[in-house]
Structure 1
């Protein structure tokens, strides 16, 4: 009941057009990556001395792919973070519960995988986050305050809505965008991860790519090789618990 009242209040405030969040406009902002990192509002990676790396999976769960990925993660003692789409949890609740039982994180990737562009209202953005949160909590009994907007699309408006809802946006290391959803080939996916692997990386993968098993097959190459190199594959929460060894360099990123 408390959560319902909290979300209802936020929706009403946004709908009334109040100053709930400063700078709430649909205009593109000029803030670069360092601006959001300094404020702790977006995480791309966590540079560190420890050999830790975070594998993340978007868009699931999928009845087959996710199960095969979980089998591989278990085989290589790897933990990961699954950014799930809320409307898929009714069909695959048992898979999501398995993710939690095996030590993985289940994080928020909206309810309908809606791309947040200028035409999407602030109230709709908040509802996408809230509905997914409610479904995740109903299935797992847990809350995870990491949020990844579909497509990595963010703006000052999206960042501040997520922040007011209690979330931190987690994206990925720009050199670790595997583009596996385009089915570029098993070796191409594996090479992207392995040739660019650095301490504190966040890797973008997907566990719901219709008609493709390339990610699963690429993991059969990636996981043993990372382990051989001495990397420990961890959740976003564990990665972020480690203090960066040095400040990040600014990297510009164009926003919609």
Structure 2
């Protein structure tokens, strides 16, 4: 994801990305969906912290987490935001990104995790959904287990490699079509090996890029692809106030916000969360997980 964001910033100045991120997004004629630049860096807790107590009310997860029905021809369904008319709810999501080839950088001291951010979410009692790559879980198994087994959070699949599932996605390497399913399954295997007891049936495409071929290829896995409608702009940002404004200006009832949790590539995110959460709560918003948002979408009440 780091290579992704650096390529984005080469084409779109960071200040512009913070104030008009959508200007850099593209939708290709081939049918590939390219969101506004966003997806990218994760958020675990380094110590084996106890499950958070006193969390903000959130619907108890049923035995089968809510998903969307498959699309025509069995295409993987895509979810971007919840209902606008069922109360002021918002879901914060954090991408725990690490690509398959970034191990040497981690070994050299680069931090792809951000324990302080997860600690802040716990202190503020904010439910959140973390989309994690399998490679990240391999690098930080204790943190993956801590996040995945804390009822305040839910953990979902972000591929193993963080390679693109389309032919052109902001410069990311590309997963061959015959390896897409195994890339998702290998991530689940990495989560199990780390000791995560439950992985939600949600998938976030690396870079947020997908097309009908990718949706069809993953169709048999029973996952719902989760996008977003609010880009935080936190990737490589150095101005926490600007990112905070972008989030607050974008949130509407039912919004899904994409943020990152990588110390080296998203250094302002913890401060943004500290500012955004109390402001939105004062405006009457309640924080929920993606599963709660999907449940609100599919509920008839």
**Segment of structure 1 superposing worse, 120-129 or 74-83:** 120-129
**Residue segments in structure 2 that go unaligned for 5+ positions in a row:** 1-28, 36-67, 99-109, 168-173
CA-to-aligned-CA distance 1:158-187 (integer Å, 9 cap, x gap): 1122221121100001xx112211315211
Q: CA deviation at 1:228?
A: 1.7
The secondary structure found in structure 1 opposite 2:139 is: coil
For 1:38 and 1:140, the matched residues in 2 are separated by: 26
Contact residue 188 and residue 199 of structure 2 kept, 8 A? yes
Contact residue 69 and residue 216 of structure 1 kept, 8 A? yes
Contact residue 111 and residue 264 of structure 2 kept, 8 A? no
User: Is 1:220 equivalent to 2:277 in the alignment?
Assistant: no
**Segment of structure 1 superposing worse, 203-212 or 156-165:** 203-212
Contact residue 134 and residue 190 of structure 2 kept, 8 A? yes
The secondary structure found in structure 2 opposite 1:222 is: helix
**Residue segments in structure 1 that go unaligned for 5+ positions in a row:** 1-26, 247-256
The secondary structure found in structure 2 opposite 1:133 is: helix
For residue 17 of structure 1, what is the aligned residue in structure 2? none
- Pair 1:72–1:170, CA change in 2 (3 A): same
For 1:60 and 1:197, the matched residues in 2 are separated by: 23
User: Is 1:114 equivalent to 2:163 in the alignment?
Assistant: yes
Q: CA deviation at 1:244?
A: 6.6
- Pair 1:172–1:211, CA change in 2 (3 A): closer
Q: CA deviation at 1:63?
A: 5.9
For 1:212 and 1:120, the matched residues in 2 are separated by: 25
For residue 170 of structure 1, what is the aligned residue in structure 2? 226
For 2:228 and 2:112, the matched residues in 1 are separated by: 25
- Pair 1:154–1:64, CA change in 2 (3 A): closer
For residue 117 of structure 2, what is the aligned residue in structure 1? 69
Task: Output the TM-score relative to the length of structure 1.
Answer: 0.75
For residue 179 of structure 1, what is the aligned residue in structure 2? 233
CA-to-aligned-CA distance 1:133-181 (integer Å, 9 cap, x gap): 11123321213110001110100011122221121100001xx112211
For residue 130 of structure 1, what is the aligned residue in structure 2? 185
User: Is 1:140 equivalent to 2:176 in the alignment?
Assistant: no
For 1:168 and 1:245, the matched residues in 2 are separated by: 16
For 1:38 and 1:184, the matched residues in 2 are separated by: 40
Q: RMSD value over aligned CA atoms? A: 2.9
Aligned length: 216
- Pair 1:117–1:79, CA change in 2 (3 A): same
- Pair 1:186–1:194, CA change in 2 (3 A): same
For 1:211 and 1:197, the matched residues in 2 are separated by: 23
User: Is 1:210 equivalent to 2:264 in the alignment?
Assistant: yes
Q: CA deviation at 1:29?
A: 3.1
For residue 251 of structure 2, what is the aligned residue in structure 1? 197
Q: CA deviation at 1:107?
A: 0.6
CA-to-aligned-CA distance 1:91-141 (integer Å, 9 cap, x gap): 312212222324201111111111122363212211211100111233212
The secondary structure found in structure 2 opposite 1:202 is: strand
Q: Map 1:3-152 to 2 at 5 A.
A: 28-29=30-31, 39=71, 41-47=77-83, 48-60=85-97, 66-99=114-147, 100-118=149-167, 120-138=175-193, 139-152=195-208
